[in-house]
Amino acid sequence: MAGVPCVFIRLAGCNLRCSYCDTTYAYDGGERFSIDEVLSGIEGYRCRLVEITGGEPLLQDAVYPLLNALLKNGKDVLIETNGSINIERVKGQGSRVRVIMDVKCPESGMSEKMNWENLNVLTRNDEIKFVICNEDDYEWSKGIIEKYSLADRCPVLMSPAYDRLTAGKLSEWILKDNFNVRLNLQLHKYIWCAGMKGV
């Protein structure tokens, strides 16, 4: 979905502490909004695609009625999760909610927190993402993709960790291996400054 206008709803709270996290401000704090207030707030963007992200959005029980409300309002809904929390309840919303699940590589410091059972619930409608910090992460990711036949399950994305690995270097490895993955960049960091919020 890269390059398509999208409204982000960022929920506070995260149970992981990835070494490259760029949203530490979402660990806690935030403001409380009702679902009606959230729906009203996003309408001004006149955008059909909405992504719920975090932090880790599945830490909040209110995310499930929010998903339903967005779907009822005709939105195309994505939810990005760190892969540590069971996603079966999200998939119970039906295939209309697309899950983008991060698989945490070793350099994140959080790879042991993965809930590998989530891979059994993903569908062709979902996406798996690996944030790559170095060549060891890349090789580890290749092993996971092959072990679980992930490229046969759903689209697989690889993202270079911003300021830790260049897109050019990651592209070089992918092309050399003729690997069936998509290169994924955090476009907002290239369009606006890397630390800017709300874009």
Cis-peptide, bond into residue 83, ω within 30° of zero: no
Statement: residue 191 has pLDDT above 90: no
Non-local (6+) Cβ contacts of 179 within 8 A are 142, 145, 173
Statement: residue 187 has pLDDT above 80: no
Q: Which CATH class is domain 7-191?
A: alpha beta
The model's pTM is 0.89
DSSP code of residue 12: P
Asked if residue 98 lies in contact with residue 79, where contact means CB atoms within 8 angstroms, the answer is: yes
Non-local (6+) Cβ contacts of 168 within 8 A are none
Statement: residue 199 has pLDDT above 60: no
As a whole number, mean pLDDT of residues 139-166 equals 94
HSE value, Cβ hemisphere, 13 Å, CA-based, for 6: 18
Statement: residue 188 has pLDDT above 80: no
Reported as a single tens digit per residue, the pLDDT across 92-127 is 856 689 999 999 999 999 999 999 999 999 999 999
The domain ranges of the chain are 7-191
| pLDDT confidence of residue 30 | 85
Reported as a single tens digit per residue, the pLDDT across 25-76 is 888 888 899 999 999 999 989 899 999 999 999 999 999 999 999 999 999 9
